[in-house]
Each structure stands twice: as structure tokens, then as C-alpha cells.
Chain A
């Protein structure tokens, strides 16, 4: 899924990216190596902000990212990623690594014009649809990238039945 999402995001060097759901920090580190590659000067580097709602996972992701050498390119935030990260918005790219019941409105608002949002949308315990949403001025163009299976997104715009 990481390969498919990283291709679907059309990432470029210099992009500012928001990831909702850090997990162990692997996905955000692969993105960091695309938008802030170790073979490019730092002044060309983009940045990845990744939000994790489960404090223990956020802590471990931070440690993993540091040990893998990505701490200057990835910032881990512990909080409700379904609200996005207004402090650093707008973003060139946003991805959600958990299945949302619907597209969280704050994520659309925090997407730059010309930006791309990739997220799975659908019910808990079933297959979901991976959506790619492009912001063209104030229009949001949706593409269906196929069936996927993710853990549920929780938080204000997440699934309400899941305890974390």
C-alpha cells in the first residue's frame, strides 16, 4: 500500500506533506526521502508533518524516525489528525493511512490549490475505497483508485465505534 500511495501522491522534491496516522513512522520516512532526498541540498528539502492520535505510537514513531536518520525531515505530532494540522497548512500533499467514514472537511481546506489528497474512505471491517482528490481552484476532483483494507481512522471526523 505504501508503494501504491507514494506513486498516487505524485510527490516532488520540496513538497510540504501532511500524513494522518504515523503508525511506526516508516511511511512518513519513505515520503521524506522523496520530498527531502539525502542527495539534494537542504535548501531544496520539503518536509513531512505526521500526526498520530495514540501517544505510545507517536513516541515510538519519533524514536524510529530519529534512529533511521529522518528527524530533520519528519515532524511527529501527537493529536487528532482528522482535524489536519492548521498550524502548518496549506499542504502540497495530504495522505491518510487509516480508513475515514467520509473525507474530513479540514483536510480539504488545508490542501493547496493544485494539491493532492489520498485517503481510504469506507466502513470499518470492510474493504474501503482509496480516493485521490485533486484540488483545482475550489473544485475537488475525485478518482477511485480501487479497494483497500485499512485500520479505522478515529477522532472528530473518524469512526465513532472504535476505541483506541
Chain B
């Protein structure tokens, strides 16, 4: 899971979406999986919003 998250951040840097060193560092250090329901953790690095309860979603890392 850690590797997939690192690959996502690498992609965001390569594509120019993440530019600022402090922002890149923070995105790398704080993976979305820590904040998801157990059953959604495997999708943490997928670029999609995910359910967090009460009909609400957590934003996608990129879009």
C-alpha cells in the first residue's frame, strides 16, 4: 500500500500538479489510507473520491 501511495505522489510530481517541496513532502508523509474505512484502504491511492459515511466522500488525491 505504501509503494502505491509513493507511486501516486511520484506521478503527481511528474505531471506538474505537485510543485512545492513542502506540499510534496506532506502528501508523501500523510497517505489517505490512514483515514479510510478498512474495506476502502486498498483504494487509497486510486484517483477517486471514497465514501466516509453519512453520504459524504473524501476527495481524490488529484481530481
List A residues at the B interface (Cβ < 8 Å): 1-4, 6-7, 11-13, 23-27, 29-31, 33-34, 37-38, 54, 56-57, 60, 64, 67-68, 97, 150-151, 164
Say whether, besides A1-B63, A23-B52, A57-B53, A67 and B34 are in contact (CB < 8 Å).
yes
Question: Can you offer 20 A-B residue contacts whose CB atoms are under 8 A?
Answer: A1-B59, A1-B60, A3-B12, A3-B17, A3-B62, A4-B17, A6-B26, A7-B19, A23-B58, A24-B36, A24-B58, A27-B59, A29-B35, A30-B27, A34-B26, A54-B54, A60-B52, A68-B34, A68-B35, A164-B55
Find out whether the CB atom of B35 lies under 8 angstroms from the CB atom of A3: no
Residues on A with C-beta less than 8 A from B19 are 7
Q: Smallest CB–CB gap between B2 and chain A, Å?
A: 14
Find out whether the CB atom of A2 lies under 8 angstroms from the CB atom of B59: yes
Residues on A with C-beta less than 8 A from B57 are 23, 151
Give the docked Cα–Cα distance between A27 and B55 (Å): 18
A-B pairs, 3 with minimum CB distance: A33-B26, A26-B35, A1-B59
List B residues 1-52 near A (Cβ within 8 Å): 12, 17-20, 22-23, 25-27, 29-30, 32, 34-36, 52
Give the docked Cα–Cα distance between A34 and B24 (Å): 9
Q: Smallest CB–CB gap between B38 and chain A, Å?
A: 12
- Interface hub of B55, B57, B59, B61 (most chain A Cβ within 10 A): B59
- Give which listed residue, B22, B26, B52, contacts A24 with CB less than 8 A: B52
Least CB separation from A67: chain B residue? B34
- Give which listed residue, A11, A24, A38, A54, contacts B23 with CB less than 8 A: A11
Residues on B with C-beta less than 8 A from A23 are 52, 56-59
Find out whether the CB atom of A33 lies under 8 angstroms from the CB atom of B34: no
